Amino acid sequence: MTVSYQPPGSFVLEAGRGKAIRVAPGTLVKITNPYGTQAIDFWAYNAEDTAEYVSTEHIRSVNSTVPVNKATRIVSWKRRPLVSIAEDTSSGDHDTLLCACNAAIYAELGCEGYHRSCADNLHEGLGELGVEVPFTPGPVNLFMSVRAEPDGTLTRLLPTSKPGSHVTLKAERDVIMAFSCCPQDVTTINGPDRTVRDCLIEVLPPSGEGVA
């Protein structure tokens, strides 16, 4: 099955939900965080071979850094950049250490019955494109604030971005980007009020066409 390219335009990434889109090389995708508090788990796959995906282990290895920013090479496990950050008005906290939330985490947290998760959102979003992948890679956690302490422990901080902050991603190859508006409402990773909120995603037209 051939996956169609996402046309220019915007859509709401609903609170707690996910979406995957295919975009051509050079496409800019703007992710806006209206409240500044919402973490968005992000993955990218080579659209022509989804066995190649952005690898947070290799991002940390290639760049020798933990958070990602405009200077970071956001690479696959083949160590080729699949995407980059073209613009970033957020606080710059984009974690690469924590896993996507999944059913096991919500069970540990005492949730009874089904709770949406970033892992499920990834597979649902890809599934809507007819794409199946065998596992959930470590995500780039946009707008998520996690600090590695000198003593080796990790601290999950409250969100640090201002309302209306955005990150613009650039496709460095033909890629499928997947986003999950993290449904975590048990811990405070999405803010002290534990409230999951909508975000906005905008696929910008190719340069030269202008934005209507």
Residues 6+ apart with CB under 8 A from 208: none
Q: Which of residues 80-109 bind Zn ion (CB under 5 A)?
A: 101
DSSP strand E in 59-195: where? 74-75, 81-88, 140-142, 146-148, 154-156, 165-171, 175-181
142 binds Zn ion (CB under 5 A): no
13 binds Zn ion (CB under 5 A): no
Query: How far apart, in whole angstroms, are the C-alpha atoms of residue 130 and residue 172?
Result: 22
Between 3 and 146, name the residue whose CB sits nearer to Zn ion: 146
Binding mask 184-203 for Zn ion (x = CB under 5 A): x-------------------
Question: Which is it for strands 199-203 and 28-33: parallel, antiparallel or unpaired?
Answer: antiparallel
177 binds Zn ion (CB under 5 A): no
Q: Which of residues 105-124 bind Zn ion (CB under 5 A)?
A: 118
Do 161 and 90 touch, CB atoms closer than 8 A? yes
Query: How far apart, in whole angstroms, are the C-alpha atoms of residue 18 and residue 12?
Result: 10
Between 21 and 182, name the residue whose CB sits nearer to Zn ion: 182
- Count of positions on this chain that bind Zn ion (CB under 5 A): 4
181 binds Zn ion (CB under 5 A): no
169 binds Zn ion (CB under 5 A): no
Contact set with Zn ion (CB under 5 A): 101, 118, 182, 184
